[in-house]
């Protein structure tokens, strides 16, 4: 954390920037209060880049619109019922929300919206003290009624009011606590931790979409381990992602297998490191990260004990893909994400025997075809899955993947590997065999595709000769 003086200097610089200064002047001239609140203030103290500009005010939504319209290039009131008005000022998106004094009935998932009259009352209604900081404008006075600065210094996540009341008001705050441990590197206050453990079932009151969004934010942090471990420790994972704690397989001295839970989080960390090394400027790859975390979730259902103490997990890739699809569907991920993640889980064992099997070019083509658009992510996942402590073995496996990537690159350059098709299309097949559309055309097409994968690109004459020979033998 930066020292207070440095943080205040950052806040002064932010307050003098175009959109903040214009809003401060407009609200002051209009006789209303305005304060920068929450994340921007917190991040100034943490030395983090400020992304979102959120404000709070005593003005009601209609009044906010009156004050904002003259200085905004665009504005919207989609959050008006919750007191929020959005605007675009000097190219920056801002949100201004009326002081809140919400009440919860303990039954509905949403609060009964009530507007407040003081900034202190508004800040006490927020999730954690480190987010209950405000900078009043234009006087640049720091408002901290809940002890947020002290908690920032200590790296503590604490609720402004009793945690059981706060989490009861909005159970999603329990997942936000989990996410913030990874995003901010903070630890959860003891009373708050106990409240989450005691109240974890209340997370079932939250919609799947809101739960998904918090899990996504957690997975996109640089260091998700802390949050994932807290998710399991508090019992929340049993309710929102039960496949994760299920990886904590019972072990005994007579049977030998990896700690699958620890291995899965390590694979996720490896994938994040490879992302940074290979695609430092790209956004975090959500599909790869979820596939890394979930790649072994089929193991609990497929574990078998063998004579001599060995343990097998045959078919865990296929079973895991099915479980991943089911869980991601329940969490309302979109179809493309579900397809991508489950496919990666299904294919993550495909090169298990590459090193010693002596794959032919045909096998390499089939691997690339089966992976399709997931090829690069799949190779990254497979690399991430190498967690052995045996350095020689790890180096040997990494070299094998290097070799496979080189062969794929060479074949792609020679053969347009990413778009492997038969050398004859359906129209040509029907013309050569003098047949009409029907199942036989599909059979012939698949035959020629296999021929293409086995032999590489052929001329149309060679493909025609092969097709006619098959047709003759077929009778």
Q: How many CB atoms lie within 10 A of CB 213?
A: 16
The pLDDT of residue 252 is 47
CA Rg value for the chain: 29
Of the chain, the percentage scoring pLDDT greater than 70 comes to 93
The answer to whether 295 and 344 have CB atoms below 8 angstroms apart is yes
Cis peptide leading into residue 138 (ω within 30°): yes
The pLDDT of residue 255 is 43
pLDDT (tens digit, 9 = 90+) per residue, 280-329?
A: 778 899 999 999 999 999 999 999 888 877 888 989 999 999 999 999 99
Nearest one of 99, 94, 123, 79 to 22, comparing CA atoms: 94
The pLDDT of residue 416 is 56
The pLDDT of residue 109 is 53
| Residue range 193-220: mean pLDDT, rounded | 97
Would you say residue 470 has pLDDT above 50? yes
Helix/strand number for the chain, H first, E second: 24, 11
pLDDT (tens digit, 9 = 90+) per residue, 420-468?
A: 678 788 888 888 888 888 888 888 888 888 888 777 778 888 888 888 8
Handedness of CA 437, 440, 442, 447 (dihedral sign): negative
| Residue range 367-395: mean pLDDT, rounded | 92
The answer to whether 127 and 173 have CB atoms below 8 angstroms apart is yes
Beta strands 141-143; 134-137: pairing state:
antiparallel
Residue 253 confidence class, pLDDT cut points 50, 70, 90? very low
The answer to whether 201 and 230 have CB atoms below 8 angstroms apart is no
The answer to whether 179 and 221 have CB atoms below 8 angstroms apart is yes
| Tokens encoding 154 | 């200590």
| Residue range 184-196: mean pLDDT, rounded | 97
Give the Cα separation of 444 and 413 in Å (integer): 27
Residue 344 confidence class, pLDDT cut points 50, 70, 90? very high
| Residue range 325-352: mean pLDDT, rounded | 96
Q: Supply the pTM of this predicted model.
A: 0.84
Handedness of CA 69, 72, 73, 74 (dihedral sign): negative
Nearest one of 42, 45, 46, 50 to 14, comparing CA atoms: 50
Spell out the domains of the chain, with CATH numbers in brackets.
1-151 (3.30.460.10), 155-241 (1.10.110.30), 245-419 (1.10.3210), 426-474 (no CATH)
Of the chain, the percentage scoring pLDDT greater than 90 comes to 61
The answer to whether 230 and 221 have CB atoms below 8 angstroms apart is no
């Amino acid at each position: 954390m930066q020292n207070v003086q440095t943080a205040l200097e950052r806040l002064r610089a932010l307050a003098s920037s175009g959109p903040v200064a214009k809003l401060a002047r407009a609200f002051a001239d209009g006789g209303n209060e305005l304060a920068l609140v929450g994340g921007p203030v917190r991040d100034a103290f943490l030395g983090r880049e400020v992304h979102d500009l959120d404000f709070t005010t005593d003005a009601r939504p209609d009044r906010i619109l009156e004050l904002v319209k003259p200085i905004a290039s665009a504005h919207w009131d989609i959050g008006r019922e919750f007191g929020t008005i959005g605007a675009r000022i000097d190219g920056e998106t801002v949100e201004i929300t009326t002081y809140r004094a919400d009440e919860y009935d303990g039954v509905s998932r949403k609060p009964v919206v009530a507007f407040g009259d003081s900034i202190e009352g508004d800040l006490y209604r927020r999730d954690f003290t480190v987010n209950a900081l405000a900078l009043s404008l234009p006087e640049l006075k720091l408002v901290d009624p809940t002890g947020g600065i002290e908690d920032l210094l200590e790296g503590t996540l604490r609720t402004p009011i009793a945690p059981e009341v706060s989490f009861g008001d909005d159970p999603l705050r329990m997942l936000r606590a989990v996410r913030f441990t990874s995003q901010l590197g903070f630890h959860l206050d003891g009373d708050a931790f106990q409240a989450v453990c005691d109240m974890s079932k209340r997370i079932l009151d939250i919609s799947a979409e809101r739960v998904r969004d918090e899990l996504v934010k957690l997975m996109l942090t640089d260091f998700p381990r802390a949050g994932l471990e807290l998710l399991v420790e508090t019992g929340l994972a049993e309710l929102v992602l039960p496949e994760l704690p299920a990886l904590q397989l019972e072990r005994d001295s007579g049977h030998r297998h990896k700690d699958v839970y620890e291995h899965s989080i390590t694979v996720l960390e490896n994938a994040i490191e490879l992302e940074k090394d290979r695609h430092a400027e790209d956004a975090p790859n959500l599909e790869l990260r979820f596939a890394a975390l979930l790649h072994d979730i089929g193991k609990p259902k497929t574990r078998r004990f063998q004579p001599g103490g060995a343990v097998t997990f045959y078919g865990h890739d296929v079973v895991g893909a099915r479980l991943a699809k089911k869980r991601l569907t329940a969490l309302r991920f979109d179809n493309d994400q579900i397809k991508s993640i489950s496919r990666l889980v299904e294919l993550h064992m495909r090169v298990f025997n590459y090193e010693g099997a002596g794959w032919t070019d045909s096998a390499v083509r089939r691997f690339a075809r089966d992976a399709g658009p997931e090829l690069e992510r799949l190779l990254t996942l497979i690399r991430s899955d190498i967690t052995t402590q045996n350095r020689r073995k790890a180096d040997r496996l990494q070299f094998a993947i290097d070799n496979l990537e080189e062969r794929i690159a060479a074949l792609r350059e020679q053969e347009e590997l990413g778009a492997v098709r038969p050398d004859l299309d359906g129209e040509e097949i029907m013309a050569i065999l003098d047949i009409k559309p029907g199942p036989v055309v599909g059979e012939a097409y698949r035959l020629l595709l296999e021929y293409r994968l086995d032999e590489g690109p052929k001329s149309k004459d060679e493909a025609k000769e092969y097709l006619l020979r098959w047709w003759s033998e077929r009778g």
